Copies of this chain bind each other. A is one copy, B any other.
């Protein structure tokens, strides 16, 4: 039984070899930890889990380097507003990897990676670029409360 994580890992591996990137054993393990995580993890969280899960050491320095690699390969995103990392939720699908928008629940800390409509993003971009400013990234991080947590509250 091949689950979603394994499929993502395979896809990541094949995509990397296609583009000449080296998804080494340790990099792959870091990705696996992020794929298995229910929430975004800090770099030091990853170090801890790495040791636990694989009984193998990983220095913080190495973790940061591996995260940098995985981000360049578009396999991992960084949440700049919380200094945490998460696997791209579109590794296993055929989607084009556009810049992500994240909805971050400030109560349960889960994150939903969404794709806002092209139209809306275009308007946003247009509105901003009318000021003379050229966007380099359209990654958005929006904080709030997710549906599940709201449901819990109103019980």
Contacts and interface: CB of A to CB of B under 8 A. Distances in A.
Contact of A128 (B82, B103, B127, B138): B103
Q: How many copies of this chain does the complex contain?
A: 2
Given A81-B80, A81-B81, A140-B140, A132 B146 contact: yes
B120 A133 contact: no
A139 B139 CA distance: 13
A interface residue count range (under 10 / 10 to 19 / 20 to 34 / 35 or more): 20 to 34
Interface string A118-155: 00100110011001111111101111111100100000
A144 B140 contact: no
A105 interface: yes
A117 interface: yes
A9 B133 CA distance: 29
Contact of A123 (B105, B114, B123, B136): B123
B147 A143 contact: no
A112 interface: yes
Contacts of A134: 144-145, 150
Given A81-B80, A81-B81, A133 B116 contact: no
26 contacts: A81-B81, A81-B141, A103-B128, A103-B131, A105-B133, A106-B136, A114-B128, A114-B131, A116-B124, A116-B127, A120-B123, A120-B124, A120-B127, A124-B124, A128-B144, A132-B146, A132-B147, A133-B142, A134-B150, A135-B143, A136-B143, A136-B144, A136-B145, A137-B143, A137-B144, A141-B141
